[in-house]
Amino acid sequence: MNVTLAVKQYVSKMIENSGPGMKVLLMDKETTSIVSVVYTQSEILQKEVYLFERIDSQSRDNMKHLKAICFLRPTKVPHITSHYITSHYITCHLSDWTLCVLCVLCVPSVDPVCTMCTVCPLSGPCVYYVSCVSPQWTYQAMVHELLGLNNNRIDLSRVPGISKDLKEVVLSAENDEFYANNLYLNFGEIGTNIKNLMEDFQKKKPKEQQKLESITDMKAFVDNYPQFKKMSGTVSKHVTVVGELSRLVSERQLMEVSEVEQELSCQNDHSNAQQSLRRLLQSPRLSELDAVRLVMLYALRYERHSSSVLPGLMEELSRRGVSERHRGMVKSMLEYGGKRVRGSDLVTPTDAVAKTKQFFKGLKGVENVYTQHQPLIHDTLDQLIKGRLKDSQFPYLGASSLRDRPQDIVVFLIGGATYEEALTVYNLNRSTPGVRIVLGGSSIHNTRSFLEEVMATAGHSGDRTQGSGRHSNRR
């Protein structure tokens, strides 16, 4: 199930149904984002779509010679008259996440068996939060965490010494072969592959002293120039992006930060964890956000430990000059997913085997110390594929039930998914022949976006029932 291809075919069908001739594509804010993700401007121009307009634009010329293809959510547009419209595709009036799920199911025409998590496992909420506040080391995840990835676009305007043509770049696996081949690789591998890309570029780069002495020479140069120009743009883009990631990793001590994060998330040694955390909090290079994130992870894990040093860590944040708003995020996180809300410990002290399996995986099967954590979605999908998913936690809707091993699985996380979970789904697709999994969510979180949601949700925490198993919007 290729959702990107399905949406692309859907847009193509709209254009084809309007017939030949010059066209304008009229969109709203949401559908503009959809089209921009699946089509490049040059691709859609080849389909005779020469103008792109937002429905909420206040000024528009009279262009009756163009066919209008309207791809819209329900929108009030009093200044648009019906005789401009020759064909239209208007989405139904449903919540964003409901519409997303229906689209994924309807485009490939599948007859789904639906289930929804109503009561999360004891450690589930914390594991979900760890995915959101522990940055990953794959290319795609690092870009989103450190630079921000919005509809495949990265804003590099604040990068020191950035050239004008690189202030905003596009990273799309559909149109960028290097990105498609490297988005799930870790940072060390990316560095090696960037070097190889540069060396390949240098070999193909036209030499300044190259002479164009014949028509054949000139023709060869012209034929190869577009490919060279494209490769030149790819090299410049990725060298710039990886260079900025490297600068931020060094500037913010992110390797040291990640090591402590993994220790807090995956191991069960309170003494070593609090010592490592205190030591790192003394570093003047540690950013305010990273300091808060580390204390937040400690609070989730050890808030009611008999030797908890959470009050002292909060005092340390204050001494560092961390803003009141950021310090308040720690309290908000506990209101959002602390023990009072979970209604249980993160680790059952009576089950040492389960505790070791879940939180201390060791180095066996782990690429390195920075990638020990595994999101809860891995275990959930593994149980589903093996037919062991508990109906009490994931009841089926209606009278339907799952009798056979599923082949096509659509996972949708209300409240947002992360690129760590995307990596998990990617690896499961590769390692489980005959099973195809699609991951979706109402958003793709990085640390900043998730903490903003926590702050917004914590204010309504009083509406939640203690120990109910329902945790804000992220299910």
167 vs 351: CA distance, rounded Å:
53
Task: Kindly state whether residues 34 and 89 are assigned to the same domain.
Answer: yes
| pLDDT single digits (tens) 34-55 | 888 888 888 888 888 888 888 8
Q: State residue 88's pLDDT score.
A: 40
Confidence of residue 363 (pLDDT cuts 50, 70, 90): very low
**More confident call, 220 vs 150:** 150
Judgement on whether residues 166 and 245 belong to the same structural domain of the protein: yes
pLDDT of residue 309: 94
Query: Are residues 77 and 13 part of one domain?
Result: yes
Residue 461 pLDDT greater than 50, yes or no: no
Q: What's the confidence (pLDDT) of residue 197?
A: 83
Average pLDDT, the chain: 76
Greatest mean pLDDT among 52-61, 406-415, 422-431 lies in 422-431
Nearest to 133 by CA among 451, 473, 447, 454: 447
Q: Measured between alpha carbons, how far is 147 from 169 in angstroms, rounded to an integer?
A: 11
Q: Does residue 294 surpass a pLDDT of 90? A: yes
Can you tell me the mean pLDDT for 9-31? Answer: 87
pLDDT at position 169 over 80: yes
Cα dist. 437→3, 172, 385, 403, 430 in Å?
Answer: 11, 20, 10, 18, 10
Q: Domain check: are 60 and 149 in the same one?
A: no
pLDDT category at 475 given cuts 50, 70, 90 is very low
> What CATH number is attached to the domain comprising 81?
3.40.50.2060
Q: How many CA atoms lie within 13 A of 378 on its CB side?
A: 16
Whether the pLDDT of residue 427 is over 80: the answer is yes
Least confident stretch, 93-97, 307-311, 358-362, 449-453: 358-362
Domain boundary among 195, 229, 251: 251
Does any domain span residue 195?
yes
pLDDT at site 98: 61
DSSP strand pairing (67-72 vs 85-90):
parallel
Is the Cβ–Cβ distance between 182 and 190 less than 8 Å? yes
DSSP 8-state assignment for residue 146? I
Band of the pLDDT at 308, cuts 50, 70, 90? Answer: very high
The more confident residue out of 134 and 468 is 134
Pure H helices in 143-287: 177-182, 187-204, 215-251, 254-266, 270-281
H helical segments located in 76-133: 96-106, 124-133
d(CA 103, CA 7): 9
Least confident of 120-124, 173-177, 433-437: 120-124
Contacts 24+ apart (CB under 8 A), 425-429: 425/377, 425/381, 426/184, 428/378, 428/381, 428/382, 428/385
Q: What is the pLDDT of residue 311?
A: 93
Is the pLDDT reported for residue 56 higher than 50? yes
Enumerate the β-bridge partners of residue 440.
Answer: 412
Residue 123 lies in a domain: no
- Do the bridges between strand 153-155 and strand 168-170 make them parallel or antiparallel, or are there none, so unpaired? antiparallel
CATH number, domain containing residue 219: 3.90.830.10
DSSP 461: G
Judge contact between 6 and 108, C-beta under 8 A: yes
Pure H helices in 320-443: 324-337, 339-342, 352-359, 376-385, 419-431
80 and 13 co-located in one domain: yes
pLDDT over threshold 90, residue 91: no
Q: What is the mean pLDDT of residues 380-397?
A: 83
pLDDT at 401 over 90: no
For residue 462, the model assigns a pLDDT of: 44
- Lowest pLDDT segment from 23-32, 60-69, 274-283: 60-69
Specify the number of domains making up the chain.
2
- Look at residue 36 in the predicted model and tell me its pLDDT: 83
Q: Is residue 383 included in any domain, yes or no?
A: no
Q: Is residue 107 part of a domain?
A: no
% of the chain surpassing 70 pLDDT: 70
| Co-location of 82 and 152 in the same domain | no
One-letter amino acid of 308: S
Calculate mean pLDDT across residues 303-313: 91
- What is d(CA 87, CA 77) in angstroms, rounded to the nearest whole number? 16
* Cβ neighbours of residue 73 closer than 8 Å, sequence gap 6 or more: 28, 30, 31, 90, 91, 93
Give the integer Cα–Cα distance in Å for 70 and 139: 36
Residues 6 or more apart whose CB falls under 8 angstroms from that of 275 comprise: none
| Residue 69 included in any domain | yes
> Is 81 found in the same domain as 159?
no
CA-CA-CA-CA torsion sign (133, 134, 138, 139): positive
* CB 407 within 8 Å of CB 414: no
Residue 246 lies in a domain: yes
Note whether residue 70 is domain-resident: yes
Q: Within this chain, do residues 156 and 222 fall inside the same structural domain, yes or no?
A: yes
> Does the pLDDT value for residue 96 go beyond 80?
no
- Please tell me which residue, 247 or 213, carries the higher pLDDT value: 247
Q: How far apart are CA 129 and CA 118, in angstroms?
A: 17
Which range among 63-67, 136-140, 173-177, 445-449 shows the weakest confidence by mean pLDDT? 63-67
pLDDT of 354 reads: 39
- Nearest alpha carbon to residue 152 among 131, 138, 168, 166: 168
**Close Cβ partners of 474 (under 8 Å, ≥ 6 residues apart):** 128, 132, 413, 414, 415, 416, 453
* Residue 121 pLDDT grade (very low, low, confident, very high; cuts 50, 70, 90): very low
- pLDDT tens for residues 320-339? 999 998 898 898 888 877 76
Domain coverage including residue 10: 3-93
Interatomic CA distance for residues 251 and 229, integer angstroms = 33
Model confidence at 295, pLDDT cuts 50, 70, 90, reads: very high
Give 352-361's long-range contacts (Cβ < 8 A, gap of 24+).
Answer: 355/268, 358/123, 359/265, 359/266, 359/267, 359/268, 360/266, 360/267, 360/268, 361/266
Q: 340: pLDDT confidence band, cut at 50, 70 and 90?
A: low
Which carries the bigger pLDDT value, residue 83 or residue 442? 442
425 found inside a domain? no
Q: Which residues pair with 386 in a beta bridge?
A: none
pLDDT tens for residues 222-240?
556 566 667 788 888 898 8
Based on the domain organization, do 241 and 165 belong to the same domain?
Answer: yes
Residue 218: pLDDT over 50: yes
Q: Is 155 helix (H, G, I), strand (E, B) or coil?
A: strand
Place of tokens 């961390």: 322
pLDDT at site 217: 64
DSSP class of 138: B
Structure token digits, residue 421? 């979970």
| Position 178 pLDDT exceeds 60 | yes
**Per-residue model confidence as pLDDT tens digits over 245-279:** 989 999 999 989 988 988 887 778 899 999 999 99
